[in-house]
């Protein structure tokens, strides 16, 4: 029986990894300039492909590849952070976007962009750093609001998110008008998210932030798994709960901060992906977290491909796509929780 | 092994446990009895290291305040009365979590968990979701997890704290689980269980600690504690005590007061 369960889960991991690969091939090989599946090979395979010019290879390596790397990383980190915050709050609705962590990061990043110049805080490092601090502040605020019981009520969580998101929306609106850039475009970027126009030069700090967060969370997966039983039981099992909670908050803020600084707010990944993964591999964080990371990477790469292709040569903000799928899913989860609540 | 000196626990203005001193060591099964609000569960949580208290609690000669969570986890386990299982977690996964503090690979941890699932008659539920089980079955899962946690040679004498371990169990499993707990004490360990069923306590406990308003009324073997006058002062009930026809331990027949 156990061997059967393990085998089934190995197959699932393989299937999800394969779909991530297919999404990657799609992302590299199609777009408004040229669509040819051989592009996914041509940029690294030392052979001559007829009809593919050096320009096309440049499009892949300088435009599509950094964008794909970012999509995979952001999807992975948002889904992983969702896993961690859901365990921290003991609530399957605790998504970094819904409860306001992404909004905190976005506001802080935008503040650095539009006001940081006065204090010499320019460049990607300060934007990512600002986003991290904003995310940290929002996470701590939500966690304090949740109270001491360790079991966060849905209403508190969602209302805290509504408040932080509304406040962040207002600030983003204000700052967008203050900034020199085309304010409308900037606003849609921060509130709906986009991976458009990303280049290798912009990536390093964000990737380091996300990579560190991802690594630290996956290293702590055993302790996070014990936290599933609640703070008290985790403590009885030998987890240093206060320290673990601080670590989770710190690493989630770092990862979400790094992601938001580069892509703006992309919602619902942290909600939907862990939930689907839980249906696939169960609640055990040691399997759930890697599965969420893999699935999150695949889904965000696919969503970004849709964002590029649906209205090509124009682009949709990716947040529209994740919200179109994620928001109904969120409502379904709410209804289900309500039913359980009254059952 | 476990020593309490002048332990008091406050909740708000009220002293729920009031200056209690105790000295217990294994192998022994101690049942804590008393009316609702007598301070039984609070006492258990204080011993578990989970509530602030005044006075001192020491384990194996070392004050509880100096124990690290990791070290404590290897020698004491706590089964709580109220428990809400996380969504989608299987019985095997939950019992395996009991092995958190042990240095072993996942496979070894699972083998330990499967052993205790066998002892608690839960093997066939191993891959079911915990939340889908009945209250009694969930209670057995918790017991299996606690026993799996304390399984192992290291650490010498161990302490198992149970808060109403049989409250949701049917007659068969009440006896099956308490026999399992008894077997655990006979390996040299100490069990402290908060209970409501006086007769089950009489059948299985070596000692009964009877509490009222956070203070001890009496502590001793069942024959000594289960007397009409002590039960009257603990529960305000009239009772008739008669020996069990086969096992000779005292059985309590309560009557409306």
Q: Please indicate whether, in this complex, the C-beta atoms of B101 and A237 are within 8 angstroms of each other.
A: yes
Structure confidence by residue, pLDDT tens digits, B4-15: 999 999 988 889
Facing B86 at nearest CB: one of A235, A240, A283:
A283
Predicted pLDDT of residue A180: 62
Cβ(B222)–Cβ(B208) below 8 Å? yes
- Smallest CA–CA separation between A298 and chain B, in Å? 23
Residue of A nearest to B110 (CA): A2
Contact B149 A237 (CB under 8 A): yes
Q: CA A105, A108, A109, A114: dihedral to nearest 10 degrees?
A: 160
Q: B229 falls in which pLDDT band (50, 70, 90)?
A: very high
CA distance, residue A331 to nearest chain B CA (Å): 18
Average pLDDT over residues B86-98: 91
Q: How many CA atoms lie within 13 A of A325 on its CB side?
A: 18
Q: Using CB atoms, which residue from A151, A225, A282 is nearest to B90?
A: A282
More confident residue, A313 or B91: B91
SS (H, E, C) chain B: CEEEEEEEEEECCEEEEEEEEEEECCCEEEEEEECCCCCHHHHHHHHCCCCCCEEEEEECCEEHHHCCHHHHHCCEEEECCCCCCCCCCEHHHHHHHCCCCCCCCHHHHHHHHHHHHHHCCCHHHCCCEHHHCCHHHHHHHHHHHHHHHHCCCCCCCCEEEEECCCCCCCHHHHHHHHHHHHHHHHCCCEEEEECCCHHHHHHHCCEEEEEECCEEEEEECHHHHCCHHHHHHHHCCEEEEEECCCCCCEEEEEECC
- Burial class of residue A111 in the structure, from the number of CB atoms within 10 Å of its CB (0-12 exposed, 13-18 middle, 19+ buried): buried
Q: Tally the residues of chain A.
A: 343
Question: What tens digit of pLDDT does each residue of A56-94 get?
Answer: 888 888 989 999 999 999 999 999 999 999 998 888 888
User: A308-317 — which CB contacts under 8 Å span 24+ positions?
Assistant: A308/A31, A308/A32, A308/A196, A309/A30, A309/A31, A312/A31, A312/A32, A313/A32, A315/A194, A315/A196, A317/A188, A317/A189, A317/A192, A317/A193, A317/A194, A317/A264
Q: Give contacts of B97 with chain A, Cβ < 8 Å.
A: 225-226, 228-229, 237
Contact B97 A2 (CB under 8 A): no
Q: Best mutation site among A8, A94, A236, A239 for testing chain B: the one with the most B CBs within 10 Å? A: A236
CB contact under 8 A, A240 and B70: yes
Can you read off the two tokens belonging to residue B188? 């040299």
* B115, B120, B125, B129 alpha-carbon torsion, rounded to 10°: -100
Distance, in angstroms, between A135 CA and closest chain B CA? 27
In angstroms, the separation between the Cα of residue A196 and the nearest Cα of chain B is 37
Pairing of strands B14-24, B2-11: antiparallel
Q: Which residues from A are below 8 Å from B when comparing CB atoms?
A: 1-2, 5, 90, 92, 151, 222, 225-226, 228-230, 232-233, 235-241, 278-279, 282-284, 286
As a whole number, mean pLDDT of residues B197-213 equals: 95
Q: Do B100 and A235 touch (CB under 8 A)?
A: no
Task: Return d(Cα A340, Cα A79) in angstroms, integer.
Answer: 25
Radius of gyration of chain A (CA): 20
Highest mean pLDDT among A26-30, B95-99, B102-106: B95-99
How many other CB atoms are there within 10 angstroms of residue B257's CB atom?
Answer: 9
Looking at the complex, report in whole angstroms how far the Cα of residue A142 sits from the nearest Cα belonging to chain B: 21
Nearest-by-Cβ selection for A283 from B74, B89, B126: B89
Closest chain A CA to residue B100: A237
Per the listing, tokens 């019992």 go with B95
Nearest by CB to A236, from B68, B73, B88: name it: B73
Question: Residue B241 pLDDT > 60, yes or no?
Answer: yes
A–B interface: beta-carbon pairs under 8 A = 70
Q: Considering only alpha carbons, which residue of chain A is nearest residue B78?
A: A236
- pLDDT averaged over consecutive 10-residue blocks of chain A (343 residues)? 78 94 91 80 77 83 92 96 90 84 88 78 80 89 68 71 86 74 65 85 90 96 92 91 89 92 90 91 92 96 92 86 88 72 41
**Pairing mode of beta strands B54-59, B62-63:** antiparallel
Q: Determine how many CB atoms are found less than 10 A away from the CB of residue A237.
A: 26
- Residue-level pLDDT at A343: 37
Domains of chain A are 2-342 (1.10.3470.10)
pLDDT tens track for B145-156: 999 999 887 668
CA distance A222 to chain B (A): 8
Relative to beta strand B250-255, strand B207-212 is unpaired
CA distance B224 to B230: 9
Q: Report the C-alpha gap between A163 and A156 in whole angstroms.
A: 10
DSSP string, A93-139: T--TTTTTHHHHHHHHHHHHHHHGGGGT--SHHHHHHHHHHHHHHHH
User: A301 near A72, Cβ under 8 Å?
Assistant: yes
Distance from CA of B221 to the nearest CA of A (A): 29
What is chain B's mean pLDDT, rounded? 91
Whether residues B88 and A279 touch (CB distance < 8 A) is answered with: yes
Q: How far apart are CA B9 and CA B28, in angstroms?
A: 25
Contacts of B98 in chain A (CB under 8 A): 237
Could you tell me which residues are beta bridge partners of residue B24?
Answer: B2
Verify whether the Cβ–Cβ distance B86 to A241 is below 8 Å.
Answer: no
Paired strand residues for B23: B3
Q: Which residue of A has its CA nearest to B97?
A: A226
- Distance CA(B29)–CA(B180), nearest Å, equals 12
How many angstroms separate the CA atoms of A146 and B231, rounded? 43
pLDDT at B155: 63
Which tokens in the block code for residue B250? 């005292």
């Amino acid at each position: 029986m156990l061997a059967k369960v393990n085998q089934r889960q190995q197959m699932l991991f393989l299937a999800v990894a394969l779909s991530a690969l297919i999404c990657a091939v799609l992302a590299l090989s199609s777009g408004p300039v040229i669509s040819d599946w051989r592009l996914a090979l041509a940029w690294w395979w030392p052979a001559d492909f007829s009809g593919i010019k050096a320009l096309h290879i440049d499009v892949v390596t300088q435009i599509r590849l950094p964008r794909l790397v970012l999509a995979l990383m952001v999807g992975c980190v948002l889904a992983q952070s969702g896993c961690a915050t859901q365990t921290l709050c003991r609530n399957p609705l605790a998504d970094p976007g819904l409860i306001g962590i992404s909004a905190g990061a976005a506001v802080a990043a935008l503040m650095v962009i539009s006001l940081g110049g006065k204090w010499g805080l320019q460049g990607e490092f300060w934007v990512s750093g600002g986003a991290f601090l904003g995310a940290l502040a929002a996470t701590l605020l939500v966690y304090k609001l949740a109270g001491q019981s360790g079991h966060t009520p849905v209403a508190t969580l969602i209302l805290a998110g509504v408040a932080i998101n509304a406040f962040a929306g207002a600030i983003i609106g204000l700052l967008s008008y203050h900034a020199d850039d085309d304010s409308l475009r900037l606003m849609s970027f921060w509130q709906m998210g986009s991976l458009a126009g990303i280049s290798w030069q912009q990536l390093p700090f964000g990737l380091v932030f996300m990579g560190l967060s991802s690594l630290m969370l996956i290293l702590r997966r055993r302790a996070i798994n014990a936290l599933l039983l609640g703070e008290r039981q985790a403590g009885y099992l030998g987890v240093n709960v206060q320290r673990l909670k601080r670590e989770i908050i710190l690493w989630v803020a770092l990862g979400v901060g790094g992601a938001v600084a580069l892509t703006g707010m992309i919602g619902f990944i942290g909600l939907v992906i862990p939930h689907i993964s839980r249906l696939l591999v169960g609640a055990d964080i040691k399997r759930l977290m890697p599965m969420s990371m893999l699935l999150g990477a695949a889904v965000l790469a696919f969503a970004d491909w849709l964002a590029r292709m649906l209205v090509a040569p124009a682009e949709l903000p990716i947040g529209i796509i994740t919200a179109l799928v994620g928001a109904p899913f969120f409502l379904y989860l709410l209804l289900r929780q309500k039913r359980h609540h009254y059952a | 092994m476990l020593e309490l000196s002048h332990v008091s626990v406050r909740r708000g203005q009220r002293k729920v446990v009031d200056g209690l001193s105790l000295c217990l060591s294994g192998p022994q099964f101690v049942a804590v009895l008393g009316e609702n609000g007598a301070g039984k569960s609070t006492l258990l949580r204080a011993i578990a290291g989970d509530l602030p208290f005044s006075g001192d609690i020491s384990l194996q000669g070392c004050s509880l305040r100096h124990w690290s969570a990791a070290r404590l986890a290897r020698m004491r386990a706590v089964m709580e009365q109220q428990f809400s299982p996380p969504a989608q977690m299987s019985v095997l996964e939950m019992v395996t979590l009991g092995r958190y503090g042990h240095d072993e690979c996942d496979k070894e941890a699972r083998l330990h968990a499967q052993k205790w699932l066998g002892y608690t008659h839960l093997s066939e539920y191993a891959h079911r979701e915990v939340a889908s089980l009945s209250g009694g079955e969930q209670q057995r899962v918790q017991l299996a997890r606690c026993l799996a946690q304390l399984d192992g040679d290291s650490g010498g004498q161990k302490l198992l704290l149970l808060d109403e371990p049989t409250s949701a169990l049917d007659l068969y499993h009440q006896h099956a689980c308490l026999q399992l707990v008894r077997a655990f004490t006979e390996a040299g360990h100490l069990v402290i269980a908060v209970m409501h069923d006086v007769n089950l306590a009489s059948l299985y406990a070596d000692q009964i600690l009877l509490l009222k308003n956070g203070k001890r009324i009496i502590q001793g073997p069942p024959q000594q504690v289960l007397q009409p006058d002590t039960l009257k002062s603990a529960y305000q009930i009239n009772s008739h005590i008669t020996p069990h026809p086969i096992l000779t331990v005292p059985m309590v027949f309560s009557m409306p007061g």
